[in-house]
Amino acid sequence: DAKTTQPPSMDCAEGRAANLPCNHSTISGNEYVYWYRQIHSQGPQYIIHGLKNNETNEMASLIITEDRKSSTLILPHATLRDTAVYYCIVMNSGGSNYKLTFGKGTLLTVNP
Amino acid sequence: NAGVMQNPRHLVRRRGQEARLRCSPMKGHSHVYWYRQLPEEGLKFMVYLQKENIIDESGMPKERFSAEFPKEGPSILRIQQVVRGDSAAYFCASSLEAAGGTDTQYFGPGTRLTVL
């Protein structure tokens, strides 16, 4: 699996957009980008995933660069409840790749 | 639309006792994964099971740990003769098909095991 690099921490003001970057420069053509978050003491929560097109759901938007070497998770209107560790994970499609590898992620702190 | 359920949420055991952790996957999901999160560390894969089959247990310690996912009932992670180093949060995830690509693992709330 491709390795990912994320900043260790970020701050965001409540109500503003939070833009969380992720570098995955060694990503290969059949690897997806997944985002999860873990709010303190809770189980990881799936947010969104994509292959090469930008994706949007009720939680967030995922912007993947054309060369697929980096992506940005966007929380359009951050709230205090969005304070969490956000994990960017690259995952191969195909039958044998199911081990999610959680790195250190980015601790997003949303401030009032 | 129940999500992944785990119980108990908190479990306290003394050294040498057995711990049994249960996981009920989301409705319709037949693939279960167990992860362990040691204090101040990231989640680590332990084992992947389908109904009645262990597919990959490469992340599970070779001794004292076992997992099953019977035809009926929840998946069970069993730890025999617990030691203090087993204290951790244990998370279960499930997916509709084998995860990877377009399928997604959904996680439960976890069981926090404390070994005294």
For chain B, the first-to-last Cα distance in angstroms comes to 36
* The predicted structure's pLDDT at residue B64: 97
Where would I find the beta strands (DSSP E) of B1-116?
A: 5-7, 10-13, 19-24, 31-37, 43-50, 53-56, 65-68, 75-79, 88-95, 106-107, 111-115
Q: Are strands B111-115 and B10-13 parallel, antiparallel or unpaired?
A: parallel
pLDDT of A1 over the 80 cut: no
Q: What is the mean pLDDT of residues B53-58?
A: 93
Binary contact (B91, A44; C-beta < 8 A): yes
* The predicted structure's pLDDT at residue B99: 60
Q: Are strands B75-79 and B19-24 parallel, antiparallel or unpaired?
A: antiparallel
Peptide bond into A76 cis (omega under 30): no
With contact defined as beta carbons under 8 Å apart, do B50 and B71 qualify? Answer: no
Q: What is the mean pLDDT of residues B77-83?
A: 98
* The predicted structure's pLDDT at residue B2: 74
**Given B4, B45, B91, which is nearest A99 (Cβ)?**
B45
* The predicted structure's pLDDT at residue A99: 83
Q: What is the mean pLDDT of residues A6-10?
A: 97
Comparison of pLDDT for A76 and A92, the residue scoring more: A76
Q: What is the mean pLDDT of residues B22-30?
A: 93
Q: Is B110 on the interface with A (CB under 8 A)?
A: yes
Binary contact (B48, A95; C-beta < 8 A): no
Chain A nearest-CA residue for B57? A99
Tokens in use for A102? Answer: 């959680």
pLDDT of B101 over the 60 cut: no
pLDDT of A92 over the 80 cut: no
